[in-house]
Amino acid sequence: MPYINVKVAGKLTEDQRKKIVTSITNTMEEVAGKPPSSTYVQIDEIPREQWGVGGKLLSEK
Q: Is 8 helix (H, G, I), strand (E, B) or coil?
A: strand
What is the rounded distance in angstroms from the CA atom of residue 5 to the CA atom of residue 56? 24
35 among known catalytic residues: no
What is the rounded distance in angstroms from the CA atom of residue 50 to the CA atom of residue 34? 33
The residues assigned a catalytic role are 2
